[in-house]
Structure 1
């Protein structure tokens, strides 16, 4: 007979498991290619029970991105503290890991993912998402030794997300770009971003 009553502690454990499993699958497969069914089956609950935690897939996506934010900060701090890496090497390695997130356990939003989130999230959820996004990029800049005023955070956010989005968009979402030059394009953009960050660091 199926269990119909769960304690608050059990519900919290299941919710945490859904977010953790969701992040793992989304980082590996991409957000768009990860289904709600894959997530709730991996956790061992029903579809109906899943939706008692998250009204939409997008609500879960947001929670997985929140979960990975402290991991991203820990990763950049680890790279910066590595005595075998220069500051520039550490930043480049960090940006490469984000662009090729499926190899490093990092979930990245594609153009389609961003559009879907924008359409599905409530105004309050969207506002909170933007606040947390700002805080993440602010904290990354601070880790890099850059005084993170709003203008720098906004520029760094756009530059970083642009290269990540373009890398994921070739060739499916941007079919007129040349897939054979995708990796070289990413390398060029990362190099330019690090040049920009170095100039910020000297301000």
Structure 2
């Protein structure tokens, strides 16, 4: 007989499990290819019960992105502390891991997903998202040994997301790009970003 009453602790546990499973699936097979049904079935609850936690799939996606932020910081710090890696190689490995997130357990939003989520977020939720995003990219810069002022965080955010989004967009969303050169394009962009970061590392913050 199905359980019909859940304590607050039960609900909190189930919500955490939904977000955790959602992140695992989205990181592995992509956000667009992950369905609400896959998530709630893996957790073992009904569709109706799922929607008592999240009004839309987009609400769940935002929570998964928040969940993976500390994991991303841990990965950065682990790479930077690896004595076998130079500073440059550690930074490059991190950026590659993000660009090819499906191979590394990192969920990355496509252009279409960003647009859809932006349309669904309330003004307050959007502000919260941007605040958490700024904090994440600021912590990444600090982990790189770079003083993270507002201008540097903004630039690093745009440069990082640009290479991740373009890589995910070739060839479906950007059909006039050359898919055969996609990996080489990512490599070029990452090297350019690391060059810029290396200069910031020795330059005083404004």
TM-score w.r.t. the length of structure 1 is: 0.99
Q: Which runs of 5+ in 2 are unaligned?
A: none
Corresponding position of 2:156: 156
How far has the Cα of 1:33 moved from its partner? Answer: 1.1
Aligned partners of 1:194 and 1:37: how far apart in 2? 40
Any idea what the Cα deviations from partners look like across 1:36-89, whole Å, max 9, x if unmatched?
A: 111000000001100100111111001000000000000000000000000000
Confirm whether residue 106 of structure 1 aligns to residue 109 of structure 2: no
Corresponding position of 2:76: 76
How far has the Cα of 1:3 moved from its partner? Answer: 1.4
Corresponding position of 1:135: 135
Confirm whether residue 15 of structure 1 aligns to residue 19 of structure 2: no
Any idea what the Cα deviations from partners look like across 1:9-36, whole Å, max 9, x if unmatched?
A: 1111100000000000000111111111
Corresponding position of 2:198: 198
SS in 2 for 1:165: helix
Corresponding position of 1:63: 63
Q: Which runs of 5+ in 1 are unaligned?
A: none
Corresponding position of 2:53: 53
Corresponding position of 2:6: 6
Any idea what the Cα deviations from partners look like across 1:120-145, whole Å, max 9, x if unmatched?
A: 11111111000000000000001111
SS in 2 for 1:171: coil
How far has the Cα of 1:201 moved from its partner? Answer: 0.5
How far has the Cα of 1:148 moved from its partner? Answer: 0.5
SS in 2 for 1:108: coil
Any idea what the Cα deviations from partners look like across 1:79-131, whole Å, max 9, x if unmatched?
A: 00000000000000000000000110000000011001100111111110000
Corresponding position of 2:88: 88
TM-score w.r.t. the length of structure 2 is: 0.98
Aligned partners of 1:123 and 1:31: how far apart in 2? 23
- Aligned-residue RMSD, C-alpha: 0.5
Aligned partners of 2:178 and 2:13: how far apart in 1? 45
How far has the Cα of 1:4 moved from its partner? Answer: 1.1
Corresponding position of 1:185: 185
How far has the Cα of 1:200 moved from its partner? Answer: 0.6
How far has the Cα of 1:2 moved from its partner? Answer: 2.0
Aligned partners of 1:29 and 1:162: how far apart in 2? 21
Corresponding position of 2:37: 37
Aligned partners of 1:104 and 1:11: how far apart in 2? 30
Would you say how many aligned residue pairs link Structure 1 and Structure 2? Answer: 203
